[in-house]
Amino acid sequence: MKHLIVGLGNIGPEYVGTRHNIGFRILDALAKASNISFQDRRYGFVAHMRVKNQELVLLKPSTYMNLSGNAVRYWLNEEKIPLENMLVLVDDLSLPVGTIRIRQGGSDAGHNGLKHIAQVLGTQAYNRLKFGIGNEYPRGGQIDFVLGTFSPEDEKLVDERVPAACEAIKAYALSGIAFAMNHYNGK
């Protein structure tokens, strides 16, 4: 079976290491651990890997966050992957730093990447892995916060938690969304 694993983020050196790019960071870690590399393809950077009998198509959209749906739609169609076999990796302000929450569907919670995906696909019924980035910002400072980098303490925590997110992706592909939710949510 084939799965599309989409890590949300923004391309360009100015966004490397930002909270908003945690989806890219998780996919980079997964690719590195699997000894594979991304190729610059249409609408994004793509890599293919296997987890036992499952094929994972890893996608880092090159459309910038606010137009992520274009890349998602293209690669779902290109690889002939059904929507229920897609997992979107996204930063989440409502979760403490490093917390993982896997969900089937749900709202976009104001996240522009998720909002555009739902708009383009015509549904919010797709799987997500939310990675907590915290919310320690002053009133009106949300944009600067998500486009900023982690504090040294938070960076250490993120480094410890990204491998767990990679394991959650594998568990999702091998055993399904319910199994991944039961074993990784809140940990």
- Give residue 3's region: left, alpha or beta (phi > 0; psi -120 to 50): beta
Distances (CA, A) of 106 to 109, 124, 126, 130: 8, 6, 8, 11
| Tokens coding 118 | 């739902």
- Asked whether 30 and 13 are in contact (CB, 8 A), the reply is no
Local structure of 87: helix, strand or coil: strand
Residue 134, CA atoms < 13 Å, CB-side half-sphere: 18
Name the residue among 43, 50, 51 with its Cα closest to residue 76. 43
> If you ran DSSP here, which 8-state letter would residue 12 be given?
S
Copy the structure tokens of residue 167. 């394991």
- Tokens representing 48 are 């293919």
Q: Which residues are catalytic?
A: 20
